[in-house]
Amino acid sequence: MALTPAGEGVNSAADARSGERPALPRHVAIIMDGNGRWAQRQGLPRIEGHRRGVATVRRITEHAARLGIEQLTLYCLSSENWRRPQAELSFLMHLLEQYMIEERSLLMRQRIQLAMIGRRTGIPDETLRALDQTVELCSANDGMRLCLAINYGARGEIADAARSLARDAAAGRLDPDTIDEASFAERLDTAGMPDPDLLIRTAGEMRISNFLLWQISYAEIWVTPVAWPEFEERHLDEAFASYANRDRRFGGLSPS
Q: Name the burial class of residue 58, with classes exposed (0-12), middle (13-18) and buried (19+) by CB atoms within 10 angstroms of its CB.
A: middle
Beta bridge partners of 78: 152
Residues 200-213 have pLDDT tens digits of 999 999 999 999 99
> Which own/partner contact pairs does 55-60 have at CB distance under 8 Å and 24+ positions apart?
55/229, 56/32, 56/228, 56/229, 56/230, 56/231, 56/232, 57/32, 57/99, 58/103, 58/106, 59/232, 59/233, 60/30, 60/231, 60/233, 60/236
Domain ranges of the chain: 29-244
Q: Residue 73 in 3-state DSSP?
A: strand
Q: What is the mean pLDDT of the chain?
A: 90
- Cα(198)–Cα(21) distance, integer angstroms: 17
pLDDT of 250 reads 61
- Cα(4)–Cα(200) distance, integer angstroms: 10
State in Å, rounded, how far the first CA of the chain is from the last one: 19
Residues 168-189 have pLDDT tens digits of 999 999 999 999 999 999 999 9
Those residues whose C-beta lies under 8 Å from the C-beta of residue 78, and which sit 6 or more positions away, are 149, 151, 152, 153, 209, 210, 211
Q: How confident is the model at residue 252 (pLDDT cuts 50, 70, 90)?
A: low
Pick the CATH number of 29-244 from 3.40.710.10, 3.40.1180.10, 3.40.50.300, 1.10.760.10: 3.40.1180.10
Beta bridge partners of 27: 71
Task: Please indicate whether residue 33 is annotated as part of the active site.
Answer: yes
Catalytic residue chosen out of the listed positions 33, 35, 151, 197: 33
Residue 123 has pLDDT above 90, yes or no: yes
Judge whether 38 and 229 are in contact, CB under 8 Å.
yes
- Cα(183)–Cα(197) distance, integer angstroms: 21
Judge whether 115 and 148 are in contact, CB under 8 Å.
yes
Catalytic residue chosen out of the listed positions 11, 15, 81, 160: 81
User: Alpha helix (H) ranges present in the chain?
Assistant: 12-18, 35-41, 46-67, 86-102, 104-109, 125-137, 154-170, 181-185, 233-244
Those residues whose C-beta lies under 8 Å from the C-beta of residue 86, and which sit 6 or more positions away, are none
Higher-scoring residue by pLDDT: 83, 68: 68
Other residues' Cβ atoms within 10 Å of the Cβ of residue 223: 22
What proportion of the chain, given as a percentage, has pLDDT over 70?
A: 88
User: How far is residue 45 from each of residues 29, 38, 80, 240, measured CA to CA in Å?
Assistant: 27, 10, 21, 32
Q: How confident is the model at residue 80 (pLDDT cuts 50, 70, 90)?
A: confident
Judge whether 80 and 112 are in contact, CB under 8 Å.
no
In this prediction, residues 111-116 reach a mean pLDDT of 98
| pTM exceeds 0.85 for this model | yes
